[in-house]
Every structure is written in C-alpha cells, then in structure tokens.
C-alpha cells in the first residue's frame, strides 16, 4: 500500500470544514498538515506570491486573477464561503446617491479593487442598474494580492497618511463598501476613527431592500456568488490526479455532516445563522459543491472579472477548474 501523500493545507475555520481539520473525516490517501493562518486573507497573499501551501483556500476573484497571470495552482469547485451582494454599499446622506447609477462621477471606497465583495457588487450594479463602471473613481487603500495586476485608470490609491474611513468622514468619498471591504459598517466605525476625532455619521445602505432583490436576482439568474474556493498546486495534481477527488469527497462529507446538524436545529455560530438564512433563498444546500451545480456562477465571475479589467484575457472553465468527478 502506498504511503499517504503529505500536503500542507491552509483553510479557515468553518463549521462545515471542522470535521476535516480535527481529523474526524480523513482525506483519503493524504497526510494533511493544517496550517492555521489568522486571518485567512494573509494566507491568500502567501499563496499567490510565494505558492507556500499545497492546498489553500483563496478568495474566488484573487484566484482567477492569479491564474490569469500564470499561477501554478488550479481550483476545485469547492466553495466554502458564499453570500449575495446587493447590500454592503454605504452612502453619505448628502451625496445625492439614490441608485447605483448615481455612483458615476463619484469617488467610492473599497479596500482593494480585487476584493471579491466589490467585484460581485460592481457586476450587479452594471447588469441590473446600468452603471458604467469606468465612470466611477474607485479609491483603494490596500495593495492587491496579485502584484502583476495592472489597475484600470479609474482606480486610485488614497493618500498614505489617510484612510477610507477618514475620507468618507470628510466627504472626500461619496460612498464605500462596508466591513473589511471598505469604510466600516454604519454605527461601527473602523479602528482609528475616535483617535482622529472625526465626526460620526450614519451611512445608509444604497439598496435598502437588498434581501428581497437578492432573492429575485438568484431566481432569475441562478447565480450564487462564491467567495472562498479551494486551490491545489498543479504539480500535486500532475503527480497524484486522484487527490482532486479525495479532497472533494472529504469536503463534501464534512459539509453534509454539518448540514444534518443545521437542519436539526443545532449550531448557533454566525456562519450557522447566515447559511440558515440563505437556505430560504437557495434551497437545502447553501454551499453546493461541484461543476454542474456552479457553472453559471463560475462563468459569471470570470466574465465580470474580464469586464472590470482584472484579467488580461478571457479564461476558459477548463483553465480555471479541475472537475473531481472527471478525474
């Protein structure tokens, strides 16, 4: 019997991956070494710049950009994080912004241009509201994970002695993404706000009835935005192609174990509550894995990335993903 293949693996702590990380569900034929990186976003950078891990969870857009620029790893259709994106854009109440179309001609904050939240949201604004993305000035205050990326001319960096939070407070930005994608949630300014003695302001959501519109959009398009995907080094799959299925089977088993508990009313973590809510929109499995279940969403994100100038050329599905069912 062949010895198990040692793999260094960096994935975040989710209730639906816990059984893999604690060893209760093995990865057949693999001896995993789990590397805990806090936050997981730091692992993104280490993977796309140094290819530090054999298997890694990456933000979906970060992965597509990295692959387009020749990264020596490929994704499996295992999507460990998902959410919709009609919500999350905060606007200054004095900016005269009523719809996404009104963002044209304005400066809008986002942590980095390739942040997956921003990419999906801009796709929605363009397709559903007719926003011309090239007419919005996107202001960023972080570097992109993929250093080869050439940003479009309508993306600028904020001054080194400032931040998106401060620019929003001073009225230099008219809007910005909330949370870790940008300027902070209304009522919960990001760190440094009080130190700067900046005025607090309640920033309303650009789209207040987001949940209703997200459900309708999903029903019409079948697109369910993914955030986290699992990538594997090319050389690993070249030597051991069966590892794609071993990983897929293990992630599926761990997810199904969690789903059974979720449906039984167990679990009250933020992730548990989030996916219980999403089940009302997408059905019994809020984290569908596999190519067939996700082809529309994969095609949509690749197209959106191309339209927003994130990749130098269009990418085929076979370039981006290995289908474990066909290995």
Q: What is the pLDDT of residues 197-231, one digit of tens each?
A: 445 568 999 999 999 999 999 999 999 999 999 99
Q: Measured between alpha carbons, how far is 162 from 190 in angstroms, rounded to an integer?
A: 13
254, pLDDT greater than 80:
yes
State residue 200's pLDDT score: 59
Q: How does strand 107-109 pair with strand 89-91?
A: unpaired
5-82+225-326 topology per CATH = D-Maltodextrin-Binding Protein; domain 2 (3.40.190)
State residue 8's pLDDT score: 98
C-alpha torsion sign, points 75, 248, 24, 258: positive
Mean pLDDT value of segment 63-84: 98
| 8 Å CB contact between 134 and 152 | yes
CA atoms within 13 A on the CB side of 243: 24
Q: Measured between alpha carbons, how far is 131 from 118 in angstroms, rounded to an integer?
A: 14
270, pLDDT greater than 80:
yes
Domain 89-215 has CATH 3.40.190: yes
**Token pair recorded at residue 100:** 């996404």
pTM > 0.85: yes or no: yes
pLDDT band at 111 (very low <50, low <70, confident <90, very high): very high
Q: Mean pLDDT score of the chain, rounded to an integer?
A: 93
Q: Closest Cα to residue 164, out of 229, 220, 90?
A: 90
184, pLDDT greater than 60:
no
Q: What is the pLDDT of residues 296-306, one digit of tens each?
A: 999 999 999 99
Q: Closest Cα to residue 230, out of 311, 140, 320?
A: 320
Q: Measured between alpha carbons, how far is 65 from 44 in angstroms, rounded to an integer?
A: 12
Residue 39: is the preceding peptide bond cis (ω within 30°)? yes
Sheet holding 107-109, edge to edge: 89-91, 175-177, 107-109, 137-140, 155-157
Per-domain residue ranges for the chain? 5-82+225-326, 89-215
Q: What is the pLDDT of residues 82-106, one digit of tens each?
A: 999 999 999 999 999 999 999 999 9
Q: What is the pLDDT of residues 135-167, one digit of tens each?
A: 999 999 999 999 999 999 999 999 888 999 999
| Same fold: 5-82+225-326 with 89-215 | yes
264, pLDDT greater than 90:
yes
189, pLDDT greater than 60:
no
State residue 67's pLDDT score: 98
């Amino acid at each position: 019997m062949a010895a198990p293949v040692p793999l260094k693996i960096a994935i975040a702590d989710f209730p639906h991956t816990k059984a893999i990380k604690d060893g209760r569900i093995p990865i057949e034929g693999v001896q995993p070494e789990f590397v805990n990186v806090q936050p997981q976003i730091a692992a993104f950078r280490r993977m796309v710049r140094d290819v530090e891990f054999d298997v890694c969870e990456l933000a979906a857009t970060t992965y597509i950009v990295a692959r387009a620029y020749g990264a020596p790893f490929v994704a499996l259709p295992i999507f460990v994080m998902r959410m919709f994106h009609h919500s999350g854009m905060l606007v200054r109440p004095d900016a005269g912004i009523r719809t996404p179309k009104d963002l044209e001609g304005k400066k809008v904050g986002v942590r980095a241009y390739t942040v997956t939240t921003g990419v999906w949201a801009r796709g929605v604004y363009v397709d559903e509201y007719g926003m011309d993305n090239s007419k919005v000035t996107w202001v960023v205050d972080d570097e992109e994970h993929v250093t080869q990326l050439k940003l479009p001319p309508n993306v600028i960096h904020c001054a080194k002695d400032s931040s998106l939070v401060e620019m929003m407070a001073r009225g230099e930005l008219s809007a910005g993404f909330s949370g870790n994608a940008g300027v902070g949630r209304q009522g919960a300014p990001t760190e440094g706000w009080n130190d700067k003695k900046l005025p607090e302001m309640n920033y309303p959501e650009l789209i207040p009835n987001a949940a209703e519109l997200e459900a309708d959009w999903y029903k019409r398009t079948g697109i369910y935005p993914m955030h986290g995907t699992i990538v594997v080094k090319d050389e690993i799959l070249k030597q051991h192609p069966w590892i794609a299925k071993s990983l897929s089977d293990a992630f599926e088993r761990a997810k199904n174990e969690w789903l059974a508990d979720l449906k039984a009313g167990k679990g009250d973590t933020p992730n548990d509550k989030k996916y219980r809510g999403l089940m009302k929109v997408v059905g019994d499995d809020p984290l569908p894995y596999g190519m067939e279940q996700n082809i529309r969403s994969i095609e949509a994100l690749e197209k959106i990335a191309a339209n927003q100038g994130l990749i130098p050329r269009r990418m085929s599905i076979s370039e981006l993903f290995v289908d474990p069912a066909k290995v």
